[in-house]
């Protein structure tokens, strides 16, 4: 999935948190963003070595359903964007967010409300942009959608109020 060498990061980010500590931080969050609540976001696994994350989603038909009772495509994109963005945050050593500059999504099967699994990873981390990919699966492991994105790593410190 990823062609990243260990020194392929544009800035020196020491790995100060273990994968387990990062996962625990996500699980301990008392006030997740509204988008995470709407999508039923729950972090499953983190791999800093692979710059990869797995996220469970549990969207309800009331929150994300289209007239046919399936997950509306924009919410599928939102789930994939979450996976890719979190993978980027992990790659930065939890020092940066990665706002999406552009995103392409291929819809392969309809997504039904209920349990879904997303995977996100970093393809390439450059000096000013990073390239990310993500996939969304149904409970049977069938690929529902795939996305790629270009994002711009931005230190959290630039967002302080």
Is the whole-model pTM more than 0.85?
A: yes
Least confident range from 10-24, 34-48, 126-140: namely 10-24
Distance of CA 158 to the CA centre of its chain: 21
* Rounded-to-integer distance, Cα 50 and Cα 39, Å: 25
Domains and CATH numbers, the chain: 22-159 (3.10.129.10)
Tokens of 17: 């948190």
Least confident range from 5-19, 52-66, 123-137: namely 5-19
């Amino acid at each position: 999935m990823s062609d990243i060498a260990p020194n392929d990061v544009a800035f020196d980010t020491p790995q100060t948190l273990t994968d387990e500590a990062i996962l625990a931080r996500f699980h301990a969050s008392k006030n997740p963003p509204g988008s995470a609540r709407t999508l039923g976001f729950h972090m499953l696994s983190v791999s800093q070595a692979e710059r990869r994350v797995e996220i469970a989603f549990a969207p309800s038909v009331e929150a994300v359903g289209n007239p046919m009772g399936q997950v509306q495509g924009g919410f599928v994109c939102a789930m994939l964007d979450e996976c890719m963005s979190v993978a980027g945050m992990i790659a930065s050593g939890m020092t940066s967010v990665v706002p999406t500059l552009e995103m392409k999504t291929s819809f392969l099967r309809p997504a039904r409300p209920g349990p879904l699994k997303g995977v996100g990873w970093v393809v390439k981390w450059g000096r000013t942009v990073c390239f990310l990919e993500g996939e969304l699966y149904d409970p049977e492991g069938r690929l529902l959608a795939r996305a790629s994105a270009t994002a711009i790593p931005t230190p959290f410190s630039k967002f302080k109020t």
